Chain A
Amino acid sequence: MSSRAKGPRIAAIVALLAVAAYVAVTLIIVLPSSPMRPAVVSAASPYFSQKWNVFAPNIMKTNSELVIQAQWRDDGQLVKSDWVSITAIEQNSVAGSAMPSRIQKSSWNAVNAYNKRYVALTEAQRNVVRDTFIERHDGGYRAKQAEPLVSQLTEMGQNRAAVVQFLRYDYMLKESATTFATAHFDKPIERVRWKLQRERPNDFEHRFDDEAQFDPYVVVFGWRHADDLIDPETIAVYDDVLARYGDSR
């Protein structure tokens, strides 16, 4: 090949090498296990991280909901609210909308991610995290302190990473639930708790049955101390969402 054609050759080789490199990287990412996988995933993430097993191999069969309850003081006495499903309110955006708002996935994804971290704990740890995270302090109450809680849970399972990952998500849900309850009940919220509620529609062979084939699966978590500063701008946004999507089903 003449020297004039060297340029195109080099350009073509560079293009092919780029494609080959991407093919190699993605195959290592999507294939279940290889010795190089951790290093490659770390280098390619987060931009090229990808998973294409959303509806497979085991297709989702349950409707998950994040349902919250709150407490506030009325004449010095703690008052307990009804249970309210954040997910049901958010998913009022779905029916009748050809392309629903992404709000449909917010608490639905959050509660599924939370549940994944919950089931990664040991049975003994699960018993603890289903209990309250509130302790007495100076004649009143406060949230259990993070580091002692991490140590207590880690001692039970020797899995500090799993414990920290769960508690981080627990803290996030506490923040979200507190803001939601403040907007929904219009009260100074002192405590919140939530439950993961899963309902499974009948299996295919029982799809025409009137009777529900499965009982709901419910995990109730303990009270969390709502010590967050409530931002009025955030409450205004939540108020607007509640006004538009209405009450839970």
Chain B
Amino acid sequence: MATTAKGLARRDFLGKLAASGLVIAVTSTGVRRLEAMERFAPGADGDWAPSVFLRIANDGTVFITCHRSEMGQGIRTGLAMVVADELGADFATIKLEQAIGDAKYGSQNTDGSSSIRGGEYQRLREAGAAARTLLEAAAADTWGVSASSVTTRNSVVSHAASGRSAPFAQLVGKARTMPVPAKVTLKDASQFTMIGKTVPGIDLKDVLTGKAIFGQDATMPGMKIAVILHPPVYGAKVASFDAAAALKVKGVEQVIEIPTTPPPSGFLPLGGLAVIATSTWAALQGRSKLKVTWGASPNDSYDSAAYRTQLEGEVRKEGKVERNVGDAPGALAKASKKVEAEYYAPHLAHAPMEPPAAVVSVTGDKVLAYACTQDPQTVRNTLAEFLKVPKENVEAHVTLLGGAFGRKSKPDYVCEAAWLSRKTGAPIKVVWTREDDLGVGYPHTVSMQRIEAAMDASGKLVAWRHRVASPPIPSTFAPGQEYHSVDELSLGVLDLPYEIPNVRVEVGKAPAHVRIGWFRSVSNVPQAFAICSFLDECAHAAGKDPLDFLHQAMGPDRILDTANWGTEKPLPNYGGTWAEHPLDIARLRRVLDTAAKEAGWGKKLPKGEGLGIAVHRSFLTYVASVVHVKVSPKGAITIPRVDIAMDCGYAVHPDRVRSQCEGAVIMSLSNAMTSELSFKGGKAVQTNLNQYKVVRMAQAPKVTKVHLVHSGGPIGGVGEPGVPPVAPAFANALFAATGRRIRTLPIGPQLAKA
């Protein structure tokens, strides 16, 4: 029976290939690739499918569908274990399938730390529980016992009293005819076999043995490889080109000009010259021999140093008001103790280890796509609109992703492959190189912020004015978007949780000159850096211990009244409601105290060492971090230890929550210590990892301690909220160690002494 299901699935897949006009080339590598890809094919007919996430074959094999993208965070394991636990399936024998892009799954956008929160966890539990209920009803009916007297474990339903048991295979036929229950009873937490426990990664062996298929591995029979020489400046067009030398390279077949999409280009191709070849190597060689003259672009003069000066001008004058409570300017004018500071955070690049790649076949109005994408529905919708074909004709498959961090939710590279496939009549694989990825991606915003605060004699904050000038993400999708958006400001700035009677938030003009994209933790990265650094500055100005100061600034434990917040429109809350996910000071305090206690806050350290602390809520999750730094007399920085405490409500897969926190620490330290994407003459200055630097092993903390705070609160995000507080905790630690305040990121050699 297993072979039947497999055979059907395979035929189904081959049928789809045939339908899209492809010829199956049976080469040794081709066969391996096809078989591996079959795992991504949609399910066979004839199986019992009680949910879009779950079907059971007549032989009892359980197929679970993962509708989110795996980029190393472990979501394929996480979602599968939730369904399997509720179902009572034997996890070792389940087959995990990857969903194609289809609205029937609900959101598939693996972004915003949203794969478990926002009801996803509940939906998947219900899918497993509903199927279990029907299998148990079938068994109970067969045995003439009550449904409540049977139990399910390891894909077997048992009746303890009579000693009878039946594997799923014996029950599927009947279960599918049982009436669908009006209500499904979920397991009690005490009955969980996997949820809340550590489960080995389901793809681990395939990844370790090279069997796993990433976007850069995906192939289609008869495909050609395309490497694209993109405009180095956003919006530039090809003025003239000479492809003679490129076309002489063995394996290069064509050079095709892709029209430049005028900015804002959204998810559509940048344009440029595509070299079509029989191999990636030939395409790369061909590209290196292209001679091209680029036309003028309004972004030709983009210069990061000059732009910083421009943004400084913006935050030093009154801006557009986005939040106003009390009278911050008045309180600041008459304050006896005032602190003010400016913070700069540069553009960042996602720099996933696997640069983007996609293979697409366009045949008539049928489209078949494989890509390392964070959202196959965006791929499907974007391709349908771009190619002007019905959405139903676009089949968007998801490979594994070798990291993503937000880059791969933007399907411009899939559009490139589709456009070239239609143009050439062959399946086309577009390969982005490291230089493409860093040079012409979707940089994270650059941010200039100025904060001014007033304190009373007791060190209590009485006024706060925060000005932000930072090009917004909406500028990538619509003209005239020149101010940091409310959605972005609500990532730290507008939702400031401290007890301050007078608050004013203003934004300055910041027109974009590149495709601004979202990056892991989004504007929380620069905004938490500024806010948490500034609070530390205020603590020192008030002559207080930073931890004590934070407690005082938070005020008493309470739920904040976000309905009366001084903003024009209701304050956004990461897609959640304020009723379910309020700003809860008790939770903020608990993670702060946990990190402080575990790190030994207040302990005496040798000269040149220091502890820094920061706390921040994002993605509905509360995180605090304490960083311990050691600075040598010459300014060399080492990090003996980082403590990070997270309250995400409930950790469905604790080991993966820990690993996300560990990874967030490193990424945040890269953002703080080494990473900067700058522009000169409109072009990216850093185009490989020797220039766009990320933390290496020797710079990484010697010890990272993750402390999960199980508050039992509603489930929040995990992938992103670990990032924001670490960089400011690190900068605050450097201040404690050296007395030097870092207000410009990255720190780079700022502390180095000759």
Chain B binds chain A: no
- Residue ranges of A at the interface with B (Cβ–Cβ < 8 Å): none
- Residue ranges of B at the interface with A (Cβ–Cβ < 8 Å): none
